Amino acid sequence: MQGITILGSTGSIGVNTLDVISRHPDSFKVVALTANNQVERLLAQCQQYHPAYAVMADETAAAQLTEQIKQSNLSTEVLAGVDGLVRVSQLDTVDQIMAAIVGAAGLLPTLAAAKAGKRVLLANKEALVMSGHLFMEAVKDNQAELLPIDSEHNAIFQCMPSSFHDGLATVGVQRILLTGSGGPFRTTPLNKLANVTPEQACAHPNWDMGRKISVDSATMMNKGLELIEACWLFNTTADHVEIMLHPQSVIHSMVEYVDGSVLAQMGQPDMRTPIAHAMAWPERIDSGVERLNLIDVARLEFEKPDLQRFPCLRLAETAAREGGTAPAILNAANEVAVAEFLENKLKFTDIARLVENVMTELPASAANDLDTVILADREAREHARRWVKQNRNMG
């Protein structure tokens, strides 16, 4: 029986993880569930799965959950804040951590899980984007297992030989082909993009995701962050990762070998497939996902991304090559920009403008320790908020 902590259990990844767990009650046990401030949703999950611990990142929400847990006569212990998240990531009774907290907030508990030598199921890409060197060092030094949950990285992992950590050249890999759908605006006229609404940006044609990630997919920042993540996961550089648009979202990514072979992982656009793969690895278990019918798919299309349409992708590639704190600055500025856009305080096309301004104004430095990374993150957020305020006043 494998004990699991789900960091971010009320989000789409967390809900899908619980669905997979429900199909295998003899193999997996929920030890801890966490959320930011979704009290009612977390309470319902506690009532169904009876975890030993529940954590609310928000202190006020934790107090509310504590009272409702008492009223429900549950034995679940409620914890609060970052300390609570870190604690349930290191429990002796936990074998696996589903790291599904969106954004920089997931960095510290995910890093704590790596330092505790856990199997880390990584859905939070920011942990690697912000502190790739430090995170991979923690995985290696503490003999943790790192298994990617992003459909693209999980696909690459499935197509790689087991010894890829020694370097792609040593295992005959020429390059990684990272696919992305292109989101809802792949063919939208460029002069229409400034006026798109948050609702339109969140209406992804293939995937059911949270709002922040949906916007990142619409700008293709999500793919840019995945590029940075892939470099750390597979011990390579941006020069060996090619991004291509694949609107059907059937091939989740590919690996090209020096002999001309290209291995692809295919499947429905359903996150339960990579979740089940990582939870059971190296075995395979039923995920509940509908079978892929290639006759119904009929065609598979690929095209190069247009960097004029997707300037965020260009900015992410720049950060990947620059390294150091550049990816943390990129990520922080983007989180502020997306939040402002979702509140209708920023135009869709201003997301990239804001990120580029912050990257230009804040030069990157070496990311040798966590304090440096966290400082870069904070300064980038402060600069981004000032930019929003100044541009709003100008408007």
Instruction: Please give the DSSP secondary-structure letter assigned to residue 289.
Output: P
| Nearest Cα residue to 180 out of 227, 232, 133, 117 | 227
Q: Would the pLDDT of 240 be above 90?
A: yes
The percent of residues above 70 in pLDDT, for the chain, comes to 97
Q: Which pLDDT value is given to residue 124? A: 84
Give domain 2-148's CATH number out of 3.40.47.10, 3.40.50.620, 3.40.50.720, 3.40.640.10: 3.40.50.720
| Nearest Cα residue to 225 out of 308, 104, 386 | 104
DSSP string, 73-100: T--PEEEEHHHHHHHHHS-TT--EEEE-
Both tokens of 24, joined, read: 């295998």
Q: Which pLDDT value is given to residue 395? A: 44
Q: Which pLDDT value is given to residue 231? A: 95
Fold of 323-395: Rna Polymerase Sigma Factor; Chain: A (1.10.1740)
Phi-psi label, residue 331: left if phi above 0, alpha if psi -120 to 50, beta otherwise: alpha
CA gap 110, 171 in Å, rounded: 29
How much is the average pLDDT of 326-346?
Answer: 95
Which of the residue ranges 183-187, 268-272, 305-309 would you say has the lowest mean pLDDT?
183-187
Q: Would the pLDDT of 394 be above 60?
A: no
CA distances from 100 to 294, 355, 395 (A): 30, 24, 37
CA distances from 349 to 195, 219, 308 (A): 8, 9, 11
How much is the average pLDDT of 194-216?
Answer: 82
Element (H, E) at 295: helix 294-297
Which of the residue ranges 112-126, 201-215, 239-253 would you say has the lowest mean pLDDT?
201-215
At 247, is the secondary structure helix, strand, or coil? Answer: coil
Computed over every residue of the chain, the mean pLDDT equals 93
For 169, residues 6+ apart whose C-beta sits below 8 A from its C-beta are none
122 CA to centre of own chain: 7
| Nearest Cα residue to 69 out of 94, 91, 39, 93 | 39
At 102, is the secondary structure helix, strand, or coil? Answer: coil
Q: Which pLDDT value is given to residue 167? A: 84
Q: Would the pLDDT of 47 be above 50?
A: yes
Q: Which pLDDT value is given to residue 388? A: 93
Q: Which pLDDT value is given to residue 49? A: 97
CA gap 329, 131 in Å, rounded: 11
Domain ranges in the chain are 2-148, 157-187+198-268+288-310, 323-395
For 160, residues 6+ apart whose C-beta sits below 8 A from its C-beta are 171, 173, 234, 255
How much is the average pLDDT of 50-55?
Answer: 98
Q: Would the pLDDT of 393 be above 60?
A: no
